[in-house]
């Protein structure tokens, strides 16, 4: 193992192929990296679910399952109060993906861990270390953090799911939200990914990168794809906000 470790992580592509390509190009320009980790949600809500998933499978070393990947696999059975709009989106994505890709989504792993030479570790998950659904918010208290992370021994935890990138420190542990590569919701339309390094002199360090790309290309892809609710998808992409 080298004296330094370098890990690149992206999450929540959501079928946005131009954004994914921009993220991968930026990763390549800052590389090389020891591992490239994809942290879930590759297909649903975007115009290129199959192409995006194929590119992730081609490039990433560790490929994790996200909640929407699970929803595609089980046709929404795990979604509480499944709306007609989301059901239609899932059915459309399943038709684009086909049986083999859906089976691949079903087999994806839950997490990925990298252990440094000093024994410290970085763990990547989709939403949190327990499940695929509960969001981690930047305003969490130490008490709330301990409820979910109290028995987790990793020094750094990296995740997506909530499309608002942020970094927090709780005691001697750090958490990083590096979402979203394809659908940021913090008011900044640029794609997001995370760079993590370990070296003897500083242990683990993390940086959240923002990458510009051609949003107009994605808008045209949405319109050409005949996917359900195109106006909603374009609005969410360009507004880049939950609200």
In order along its 243 residues, the chain shows pLDDT tens digits of 457 999 999 999 999 999 999 999 999 999 999 999 999 999 999 999 999 999 999 999 999 999 999 999 999 999 888 999 999 999 999 999 999 999 999 999 999 999 999 999 999 999 999 999 999 999 999 898 888 887 889 999 999 999 999 999 988 899 999 999 999 999 999 999 999 999 998 899 999 999 999 999 999 999 999 999 999 999 999 999 998
Cα separation of 160 and 116, whole Å?
22
- Read off the tokens for 228: 């359900």
Cα separation of 212 and 214, whole Å?
7
- Read off the tokens for 2: 């080298």
* Predicted model pTM: 0.96
> Under the phi-then-psi rule, with left for phi > 0, alpha for psi from -120 to 50, and beta for the rest, what region is 24?
alpha
User: What does the DSSP 8-state code read for residue 69?
Assistant: H
Position 147 scores a pLDDT of 86
- Read off the tokens for 71: 């929803």
Residue matched to tokens 């320009």: 29
Position 1 scores a pLDDT of 44
Cα-to-chain-centroid distance, residue 17: 14
Give 5's Cβ-side CA count (13 Å radius). 22
Q: Are 132 and 40 in contact (CB under 8 A)?
A: yes
Q: Are 2 and 200 in contact (CB under 8 A)?
A: no
Position 83 scores a pLDDT of 92
Cα separation of 102 and 4, whole Å?
36
Position 2 scores a pLDDT of 53
Residue matched to tokens 């360090």: 205
> Under the phi-then-psi rule, with left for phi > 0, alpha for psi from -120 to 50, and beta for the rest, what region is 45?
left
Sheet containing 156-159, strands listed edge to edge, beginning at the edge strand earlier in sequence: 112-115, 121-124, 156-159, 173-177, 166-170
CATH numbers and ranges of domains, the chain: 5-239 (3.60.21.10)
Burial label for 29, CB within 10 Å (0-12, 13-18, 19+), is exposed
The residues, any chain, with a CB within 8 Å of residue 105's CB and separated by 6 or more, are 42, 43, 53, 65, 69, 70, 72, 73, 97
Position 243 scores a pLDDT of 83
């Amino acid at each position: 193992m080298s004296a330094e470790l370098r890990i690149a992580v992206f999450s929540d592509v959501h079928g946005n192929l131009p954004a994914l390509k921009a993220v991968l190009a930026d990763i390549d320009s800052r590389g090389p990296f020891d591992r490239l980790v994809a942290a879930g949600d590759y297909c649903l809500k975007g115009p290129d679910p199959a192409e995006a998933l194929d590119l992730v499978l081609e490039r990433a070393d560790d490929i994790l399952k996200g909640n929407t990947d699970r929803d595609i696999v089980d046709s929404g059975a795990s979604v509480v109060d499944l709306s007609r709009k989301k059901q239609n989106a899932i059915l459309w994505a399943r038709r684009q993906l086909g049986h083999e890709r859906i089976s691949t989504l079903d087999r994806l792993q839950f997490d990925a861990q990298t252990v440094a030479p000093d024994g410290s570790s970085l763990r990547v998950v989709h939403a949190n270390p327990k499940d695929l659904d509960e969001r981690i918010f930047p305003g969490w208290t130490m008490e709330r953090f301990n409820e979910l992370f109290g028995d987790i021994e990793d020094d750094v935890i990296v995740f997506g799911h909530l499309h608002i990138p942020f970094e927090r420190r709780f005691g001697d542990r750090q958490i990083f939200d590096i979402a979203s590569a394809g659908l940021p919701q913090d008011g900044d339309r640029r794609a997001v990914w995370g760079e993590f390094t370990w070296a003897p002199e500083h242990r683990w360090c993390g940086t959240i990168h923002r990458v510009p790309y051609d949003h107009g290309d994605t808008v045209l892809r949405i319109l050409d794809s005949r996917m359900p609710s195109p106006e909603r998808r374009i609005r969410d992409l360009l507004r880049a906000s939950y609200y």
